[in-house]
Amino acid sequence: MTIKPPKKFFEPLAIGAPSPYRELPVALERMIHFFPPHVEKMRARVPDMVSQVDVLLGNLEDAIPADAKEAARRGFIEVATSVDFGATGLWTRVNCLNSPWFLDDVTEIVAAAGDKLDVIMLPKVEGPWDIHFLDQLLAQLEARHGVKKPILIHAILETALGVANVEAIAAASPRMHGMSLGPADLAASRGMKTTRVGGGHPFYGVLEDPRGDGGARGFHQQDLWHYTVAKMVDACQSQGIKAFYGPFGDFSDDAACEAQFRNAFLLGCVGAWSLHPKQIEIAKRVFSPDVEEVRFARKILEAMPDGTGAVMIDGKMQDDATWKQAKVIVDLARQVAARDPALAEAYGL
């Protein structure tokens, strides 16, 4: 495969566009909170939401009816230009590349609010070619409208072909911010026999071996998304970008939402989508590291100031590798602490 020479990778793709980032800007993104920008009541809530979430995303794609697509785009622009987002991220999910709305979504939003927009979420990404197209288009629009910092791209991993190409998608451009699992579209694309938005399925599991005494055999549900999340995390982390769980659609089952988000967190994801206000708290709880874990991780860092050697703490062996794990947790805890005074105190940071 022919690849672009390293030096070229960080040149702007259009004269006058800002230079690509060499590293992602540091941002806490535990939840990406979706709002439908065509609904006036929802737009009116945005100024209050800013202090409650890490990222606000105006959704233009699925769940927005075809006859409201333009109103959603206009509503997003109104919110983007009139609200002060401070340190809270402002993202939009545009319609997919082959839809009749994609081009106007991107051109109108960058023209009107390019300097306020942090990230464009691109749905139904199938390969690096999709990223290259949006990358070039954004550079042209940034140059035309004098946008000062690069607008990042976040891909949704929600087609079978996208999963097959996940590593190439993650590496496609320095504009890549990260990726979210899109379990609803992915289930359809793969031909999975489910009717859900994320989460498990009662029939997907392992039956225990027959017991010698003829007693009842236990059946243990397995995680439908384990393989895809792990594959996505490796693809993202190896390119220095972030992995996210996507939506959890059963608003009547908070415990299952929490369990699914926690699996993703433990496997390396940094956040998830919140589609209902109560999922904001779930995501905050799950994607902020556990207080006891942070305290233990701090003990490891303190016991091994230069990160080498071997020590015992509470009967557990620590070495350079556990020091690195501890650093992941403490670095995240510091980001959380900077935004959340109560947790800062609990972490002792």
Q: List residues binding ligand GLV (CB under 6 A).
A: 62, 123, 156, 158, 182-185, 197, 246-247
Closest residue by Cα to residue 203 from 220, 189, 218: 220
Stretch that binds Mg ion, among 47-55, 78-86, 113-121, 184-192 (CB under 5 A): 184-192
Report the nearest approach of Mg ion to the CB of residue 185 (Å): 4
Stretch that binds Mg ion, among 2-10, 180-188, 216-224, 258-266 (CB under 5 A): 180-188
For ligand GLV, give the closer residue by CB, 29 or 185.
Answer: 185
Q: Residue from 128, 150, 174, 182 that binds Mg ion (CB under 5 A)?
A: 182
166 binds, among Mg ion, ligand GLV, none (CB under 5 to 8 A by kind): none
Closest residue by Cα to residue 284 from 255, 262, 251, 252: 262
For Mg ion, give the closer residue by CB, 91 or 323.
Answer: 91
Please give the Cα distance from 68 to 87 (Å, whole number): 29
Stretch that binds Mg ion, among 9-17, 137-145, 175-183, 286-294 (CB under 5 A): 175-183
Closest residue by Cα to residue 34 from 54, 10, 5, 4: 54
For ligand GLV, give the closer residue by CB, 125 or 286.
Answer: 125
For ligand GLV, give the closer residue by CB, 156 or 294.
Answer: 156
Please give the Cα distance from 242 to 25 (Å, whole number): 11
Please give the Cα distance from 53 to 42 (Å, whole number): 15
**Residue-by-residue DSSP string for 265-284:** HHHT--BEEESSHHHHHHHH
Residue of closest CB approach to Mg ion: 185
183 binds, among Mg ion, ligand GLV, none (CB under 5 to 8 A by kind): ligand GLV
Instruction: Work out whether strand 316-318 and strand 311-313 pair parallel, antiparallel, or are unpaired.
Output: antiparallel
Q: Does 162 bind Mg ion (CB under 5 A)?
A: no
Report the nearest approach of ligand GLV to the CB of residue 16 (Å): 33
Closest residue by Cα to residue 70 from 117, 109, 97: 109
Please give the Cα distance from 267 to 84 (Å, whole number): 34
Q: Does 185 bind Mg ion (CB under 5 A)?
A: yes
223 binds, among Mg ion, ligand GLV, none (CB under 5 to 8 A by kind): none
Please give the Cα distance from 198 to 253 (Å, whole number): 12
Please give the Cα distance from 267 to 261 (Å, whole number): 10
For Mg ion, give the closer residue by CB, 159 or 173.
Answer: 159
User: In whole angstroms, what separates CA 339 from the centre of its chain?
Assistant: 18
Q: Per-residue string for binding with Mg ion, 282-321, x by CB under 5 A?
A: ----------------------------------------
Report the nearest approach of ligand GLV to the CB of residue 58 (Å): 15
Task: Using the structure block, give the residue that is written with the tokens 């699996």.
Answer: 263
**CB of 27 closer than 8 Å to CB of 242:** no
Residues 213-242 that bind Mg ion (CB under 5 A): none
H or E segment at 91? strand 89-93
Stretch that binds Mg ion, among 48-56, 100-108, 179-187, 194-202 (CB under 5 A): 179-187
Closest residue by Cα to residue 326 from 290, 291, 294, 348: 294
Please give the Cα distance from 72 to 60 (Å, whole number): 6
Report the nearest approach of Mg ion to the CB of residue 123 (Å): 6
- Residue 242: CB atoms within 10 A of its CB come to 21
For ligand GLV, give the closer residue by CB, 13 or 229.
Answer: 229
For ligand GLV, give the closer residue by CB, 275 or 333.
Answer: 275
Please give the Cα distance from 346 to 349 (Å, whole number): 8
Report the nearest approach of ligand GLV to the CB of residue 123 (Å): 6
Stretch that binds Mg ion, among 36-44, 73-81, 177-185, 300-308 (CB under 5 A): 177-185
For ligand GLV, give the closer residue by CB, 236 or 332.
Answer: 236
Question: Site residues (CB under 5 A) for Mg ion?
Answer: 158, 182, 185
